[in-house]
Amino acid sequence: MKIDIITIFPEFFDSFLNTSIIKRAIEENQVDIKAHQLRDFSKRKHHYIDDTPYGGGVGMLMQFPPFYEAIHHLKNEHTKVIMLSPQGKLFNQEYAKKYAKETHVILLCGHYEGIDARVENFIDDELSIGDYVLTGGEIPAMIFTDAVTRLLPGVIHEESSELDSLQNGWLKYPQYTKPESYKGYDVPDILRSGHHGNIEMWRKEQSVKRTMQKRPDLFSKIALTEEEKKIVHKIKTTLP
């Protein structure tokens, strides 16, 4: 998969692209990620890319032509163009899974007051990472890129991403590592029992319990299996 990011701050991505799993995925050719300087696509003097909004108002707006040129320079027939924006649909794991199946994505990072609305004629999606306003689209672009890259084949153990929170609707069960006991805080006995069947059941119950308690909004959307209904009943009758 190829991800092209259009931004006025490509250097923002330097450490992101050179650290941890993203770095390894690039080195192993599982993903190709490039941050492009929007100013390189400006035909104006000094490569200016912003101007005042028509109709008046505060702040500067990013101009349409550099984005038009950048998109047309990078795009192919399979490309999906995504504009990062606080007005977009909320990016979540379902979107990450959807875009991990694509071969080429272009991410448009706005800044200042955002981008001239004519760019909307050339996008396939407008995504927001949350209901708050950030200074620019660079952090949202990193969030999108990270969430999608870790789902690409071979980037992390498939089994590991399959068991991640939200991947199948549920939050992940609590996990523990050594030491077994510290200052009176112990790892649950069952995880040290070696009984795989009981451990699996405990994890499933914990996953359901966590989702019910921490994210009732997600829980209410899950179509429960018969086994899960029994677990919910058990949790409800044993909860304080």
Ligand X SMILES: C[S@@+](CC[C@H](N)C(=O)[O-])C[C@H]1O[C@@H](n2cnc3c(N)ncnc32)[C@H](O)[C@@H]1O
Active-site annotation, residues:
86, 113, 150, 164
User: Least distance in Å: CB of 94 to ligand X?
Assistant: 16
Closest CA to 164 of 180, 153, 175: 175
Considering CB under 6 A, how many residues would be counted as binding ligand X?
20
Stretch that binds ligand X, among 65-73, 84-92, 168-176, 196-204 (CB under 6 A): 84-92
Q: Give the bridge partners for 226, in sequence order.
A: none
Closer residue to ligand X, CB minimum distance, 86 or 169: 86
Q: Compute the distance between CA of residue 114 and CA of residue 112 in angstroms, rounded to an integer.
A: 5
- Could you say whether residue 66 binds ligand X (CB under 6 A)? no
- Could you say whether residue 7 binds ligand X (CB under 6 A)? no
* b/e 46-70 (16+ beta carbons within 10 angstroms → b): eeebbeeeeeeeeeebbbbebbbeb
Stretch that binds ligand X, among 99-107, 111-119, 153-161, 187-195 (CB under 6 A): 111-119
Type of residue found at 79: T
Closer residue to ligand X, CB minimum distance, 1 or 83: 83
Structural contact between residues 87 and 126, judged by C-beta atoms closer than 8 angstroms: yes
Q: Compute the distance between CA of residue 152 and CA of residue 26 in angstroms, rounded to an integer.
A: 11
Out of 40, 102, 113, 125, the only residue in the binding site for ligand X (CB under 6 A) is 113
Stretch that binds ligand X, among 31-39, 95-103, 104-112, 195-203 (CB under 6 A): 104-112
Closer residue to ligand X, CB minimum distance, 132 or 182: 132
Both tokens assigned to 8: 């006025």
- Could you say whether residue 10 binds ligand X (CB under 6 A)? no
User: Least distance in Å: CB of 5 to ligand X?
Assistant: 11
Residue sitting closest to ligand X (CB)? 110
Per-residue CA distances from 59 to 53, 133, 200 (Å):
8, 15, 55
Enumerate the H helices of 13-121 as residue ranges. 14-17, 20-27, 64-74, 93-99
- Could you say whether residue 90 binds ligand X (CB under 6 A)? no
Interface residues with ligand X (CB under 6 A)? 84-87, 109-111, 113-115, 128-130, 132-137, 140
